[in-house]
Amino acid sequence: MVCLHCAHDTQVINSRLQKRSNSVWRRRKCLNCQAVFTTIEVAQYHSSWLVSSGTARGALKPFSRDTLLLSIHASLQHRPNAVEDAAALTETIIDKLRPNAHEGLIKNTDIATLVLATLNNFDAVAAVHYRAFHKQ
């Protein structure tokens, strides 16, 4: 990686696996200007996972974390911390989806079922709202 300040090469001086978020935290130091900064490496699910619609035509589309986040947020709008809650629940759901992504393919009904179960445990009102707009 190149330095954010001078665009020269950097060296990793500390690295830690973040198990909960399936990411890698790295502290980097520029070999030229000696600036120190942090990077976080995360998987790009939109290029790794495909979602099947379950229709007869079997349409596939890339997984979108943003679409998942927005659908959860819409169900949590009655909560005072809807954005933070939706972000945390999205990460939880993605963690739970990982074992279900057989060869990178996930059914949209599996996503909806998992979101509904997670919302039921978190907020029953949000689960009812989600169920009204998403089929399982």
The structure tokens listed for 35 are 């600036």
Residues 56 and 32 placed together within one structural domain of the fold: no
Cβ(134)–Cβ(71) under 8 Å? yes
Question: Percent of the chain having pLDDT more than 90?
Answer: 60
Q: Are 80 and 125 in a shared domain? A: yes
The count of structural domains within the chain is 2
Residue 72: what pLDDT?
A: 96
Buried residues in 30-52 as b, exposed as e (16+ CB within 10 A):
beeeeeeeeeeeeeebeeebbbe
To the nearest whole number, what is the mean pLDDT of the chain?
Answer: 89
- Residues 49, 96 share a domain: yes
The total of other beta-carbon atoms located within 10 Å of residue 122's CB is: 17
Average pLDDT of the residues in 78-84:
94
pLDDT tier, 59 (very low <50, low <70, confident <90, very high otherwise): confident
Average pLDDT over residues 11-31: 89
Q: Per the domain annotation, does 4 fall within a domain?
A: no
Q: Residue 19: how many CB atoms within 10 A of its CB? A: 8
Mean pLDDT of 60-82: 93
Q: Do 22 and 65 belong to one domain? A: no
Structural domain boundaries, residue 26: 10-42
Beta strands 60-62 and 10-18 are unpaired
Domain for residue 59, yes or no?
yes
Tell me, what's the pLDDT at 42?
A: 82
pTM of the predicted structure, to 2 decimals? 0.73
Does residue 36 sit in the same domain as residue 76? no
pLDDT one-digit tens code per residue, 87-101? 999 989 998 888 878
Classify residue 5: in a domain, yes or no: no
Is 80 exceeded by the pLDDT of residue 41?
A: yes
DSSP strand pairing (60-62 vs 50-52)? antiparallel
Distance from C-alpha of 12 to C-alpha of 10, rounded to nearest angstrom: 7
State whether 33 and 51 are in the same domain: no
Is residue 97 domain-shared with residue 114, that is, in the same domain?
Answer: yes
In a domain, 1, yes or no: no
Do both 85 and 129 map to the same domain?
Answer: yes
Mean pLDDT, residues 37-48: 86
Whether residue 56 is predicted with pLDDT greater than 70 in this model: the reply is no
